[in-house]
Amino acid sequence: MIRPNEEINEKKLLRALVDGKLPDASGRFGPFGGRYVPETLMPAIERLTEGVHRLLPDESFNHKLTSQLKEWVGRPTALTHAARLSKAWGADVWFKREDLAHTGAHKINNAIGQALLAKELGATRIVAETGAGQHGVASAAACARVGLPCVVYMGELDIQRQSPNVDRMKRLGANVVSVNSGDRTLRAAIDEAIRDWVSDPVDTYYLLGSAVGPHPYPFLVRELQAVIGREARSQLETHGGLPDAVFACVGGGSNAIGLFHGFLGEENISLIGVEAGGRGDDLGDHSATLGSGRPGVLHGAYSLLLYDDHGQIQETHSVSAGLDYPGVGPEHALLKLVGRVKYVTAKDSEALDALQECCELEGILPALETAHAIAGARHWASTNQGARILIGLSGRGDKDMPILSQYPIKTNDTEGAENAAA
C-alpha cells in the first residue's frame, strides 16, 4: 500500500522498470501489484512463478512459442502506413496490425503462450474467463491447438450480448459456463475462474486474459505481448525511424503494455494510453481507471480501481465491451505514477467517429476498443502537426457489427444527414 510516509523515488522506479528489474521478487511494480489471494492458492501461484521464470528464458520453449507465433498466429504482423489518415490529420501515421493476428486481435499472443506453458507445466485442463468473448475465443483456439480441454467462464449478461463469440468458442471445443452470480459480467467470471482454480490447483491451469491479477500474471502477460513492441520497433527502424508518439487503448492493459515496452527506454518518445471515456465523467459512465481510479485491491493485485465512497467497485460503461472493466494492470498504475505514460480518454462518440474515419480512409474496420486509440491519436495530432505517430491496432471490428448497427453511418452529404436524423 502507499503509506503517507513512504518515499517514492520515481526516477529510480522508472530506471528499474526500463532495466527489466520490475516486478521485484515479491511481484511488485513499486507500490503496485503483489499477490492478494487465498492461502490455498499460494502453492499453485508459487509453482506457476517458478515455471514462468524457468521457461520464458528457455531456448527450447522459445523455439516452440516462436514457431507457433509464426506458423499459426501469423507473426510478424504487418506495419501499415496510414497514408490517407496521415494527410487528413497532418501527421505521419503508422498502424501495428494486431487485427491481422489469428482470431482477430493481440489476445492470441498471450493465449498460445500460456497454453504452451500450461502443457509444459503438466496441466490437464485449462480454465479461462471472458468478457466480450475475445479472450475466450483465443483461449479456446489455443487449447485446441495444444490439445488441452478448455472451460471458459462467462457472465450470463455477456453470453446474451456476445452470442456469436459464444458459438465460436463452442465450435473450437470449449465448454462455456454461464456465471449468474455478482454482476453477471467479466468481474464475476474472473471470480468464478479463480474459484475453479482453487478447487484443483494442481491439474488446472488458469489462463488469464490481460496484464492483471496476482503476480506472476501481469509479468507473464507483458512478456508474451512484448512481441508487439519489439516487432513494431524494428519495422519502424527500417521504415524511416522511431516515432514521436505511441498510442494504445487500455482495458486491462495487455496490448498497451506489450507495445509500450518496445519504447519505454526512449525518453523522447511520448507513450499515451487511451481509456474509455464512455458517455460522461460521472462514476459509472466510463471505464477510465487510470484517469480517475483510486488505489485498492481487485482480483489479486493492488492497483488503481473504480469504486465509490463506500469502497464498492463501480459498474463501468463503454461502447466497447473489451474496455469495460473497473480495474487495470499494476504496471500501468506505476507508469502513471512515475509519469512515463500519459493516460487520456476517448468518449464513445469520439471512438465511433474515429472508427468510421479509419474505415473510410484506410479500408480497415478496427475493433471499438482500438478505435479509442485512434481517437486519442487524432486529438493529439491536432496540436502536434507533422509528428510521427504509431498506433497499436489491437484488433478487428467484425465482432462489433451488432453494436455498430445501432449507430447510423455519418456521412457529409445531405442524404446521409437526413438518414442520421431519421
Catalytic residues: 107, 129, 394
Measured from the CB atom, the residue of 254 and 303 that comes closer to ligand PLP is 254
Find the shortest distance in angstroms from Cβ 355 to ligand PLP: 12
Measured from the CB atom, the residue of 32 and 64 that comes closer to ligand PLP is 32
The answer to whether residues 332 and 257 touch, using CB atoms and an 8 Å cutoff, is: yes
Q: Is 322 in the site for ligand PLP (CB under 6 A)?
A: yes
The answer to whether residues 365 and 396 touch, using CB atoms and an 8 Å cutoff, is: yes
Residues in the chain: 422
Measured from the CB atom, the residue of 127 and 391 that comes closer to ligand PLP is 391
Q: Is 165 in the site for ligand PLP (CB under 6 A)?
A: no
Measured from the CB atom, the residue of 204 and 320 that comes closer to ligand PLP is 320
Q: Please choose, out of 52-60, 161-169, 280-288, 366-374, the segment that lies near ligand PLP by the rule CB under 6 A.
A: 366-374
Q: Is 370 in the site for ligand PLP (CB under 6 A)?
A: yes
Q: Is 213 in the site for ligand PLP (CB under 6 A)?
A: no
Find the shortest distance in angstroms from Cβ 141 to ligand PLP: 14
Q: Is 134 in the site for ligand PLP (CB under 6 A)?
A: yes
Q: Residue 300: which residues within 8 A CB-CB, separation 6 or more?
A: 35, 36, 37, 194, 213, 214, 217
Amino acid code (one letter) for 154: M
Site for ligand PLP in 104-133 (CB under 6 A): 105, 107
Find the shortest distance in angstroms from Cβ 399 to ligand PLP: 8
CA distance 73 to 51: 23
Q: Could you give the count of Cα atoms lying within 13 Å of 37 in the half-sphere of its Cβ?
A: 25
Q: Is 288 in the site for ligand PLP (CB under 6 A)?
A: no
H-run or E-run covering 93: strand 92-97
Find the shortest distance in angstroms from Cβ 36 to ligand PLP: 20
Q: Is 97 in the site for ligand PLP (CB under 6 A)?
A: no
Site map 253..282 versus ligand PLP, x via CB under 6 A: xxxx--------------------------
Site for ligand PLP in 47-86 (CB under 6 A): none
CA distance 368 to 374: 10
Find the shortest distance in angstroms from Cβ 73 to ligand PLP: 15
Q: Is 376 in the site for ligand PLP (CB under 6 A)?
A: no
Of positions 85, 395, 400, 404, contacts ligand PLP by CB under 6 A: 395
Applying CB under 6 A, the site for ligand PLP has a residue count of 19
Question: Nearest residue to ligand PLP, using CB?
Answer: 395
CA distance 189 to 131: 8
- Structure-block grid coordinates of residue 275: 481509456
Q: Terminal CA-to-CA distance of the chain, rounded, Å?
A: 53
Measured from the CB atom, the residue of 162 and 204 that comes closer to ligand PLP is 162
Measured from the CB atom, the residue of 77 and 370 that comes closer to ligand PLP is 370
User: Exposed, middle or buried: residue 178 (CB in 10 Å: 0-12, 13-18, 19+)?
Assistant: middle
Tell which residue, 253, 187, 261, has the closest CA to residue 230: 261
* Bridge partners of residue 389, in order along the sequence: 93, 245
Q: Using alpha carbons, list the distances in angstroms from residue 394 to 37, 210, 338, 369.
A: 30, 13, 25, 8
* DSSP state letters, 273-338: EEEEEET-SSTTS---HHHH-EEEEETTEEEEE-B-TT-PBPP---SSGGG--SB--HHHHHHHHT
Find the shortest distance in angstroms from Cβ 79 to ligand PLP: 17
Find the shortest distance in angstroms from Cβ 357 to ligand PLP: 18
Site for ligand PLP in 238-257 (CB under 6 A): 249-256
Amino acid code (one letter) for 57: P
Q: Which residues bind ligand PLP (CB under 6 A)?
A: 105, 107, 134, 210, 249-256, 322-323, 367, 369-370, 394-395
